[in-house]
Chains A and B, each alone.
Chain A
Amino acid sequence: KAGVTQTPRYLIKTRGQQVTLSCSPISGHRSVSWYQQTPGQGLQFLFEYFSETQRNKGNFPGRFSGRQFSNSRSEMNVSTLELGDSALYLCASSPRGPSSYNEQFFGPGTRLTVL
């Protein structure tokens, strides 16, 4: 079974631009979660989508948004990029949701650099 895939793997943008990252979950998984990983803040939860609905949201500004399609693929969008948005963005999928009994399977991440 193919794992979680994320595209692109690397991205360079300039301040003020917007960016869209894509995540394809493992076949059959309906939940997709997004995380931001930085050296200073570690791993921070952005949001979770389940069956095309946002089910959970972390403490990020409205510039960060996402959506999920009927085939469970998910995209996240960051508008008006800031230098501090430079990070590794990780996507994780699970069969029913990131609950206590569901393992999350992570993709390799998209490395975003904002200049």
Chain B
Amino acid sequence: DQQVKQNSPSLSVQEGRISILNCDYTNSMFDYFLWYKKYPAEGPTFLISISSIKDKNEDGRFTVFLNKSAKHLSLHIVPSQPGDSAVYFCAASATTQGGSEKLVFGKGTKLTVNP
């Protein structure tokens, strides 16, 4: 049972346009969400995160939106650049009394930004 779902395996956009990557989750206990970017032959690199007490977090060209009622989050990249071409993973965790539970990852979305 996949708790974190990225339903689009791939996305292609033109340079300068907006990229929107989507992620859905099923576990209502998740309260912290992260996006990682992964280039080939490298480990995932942390990009941006959001706590469940917020509905938006922005860092430069990257903005993450969280809709708790829909159990949905999205990553917006504006403007998209060719160097953004990578696989993007959505991840989620639940905070318990003992600390943070493990990160649960989606399967990833491969973003291609065309010059």
The answer to whether A and B assemble together is no
Report B's interface with A, CB cutoff 8 A.
none
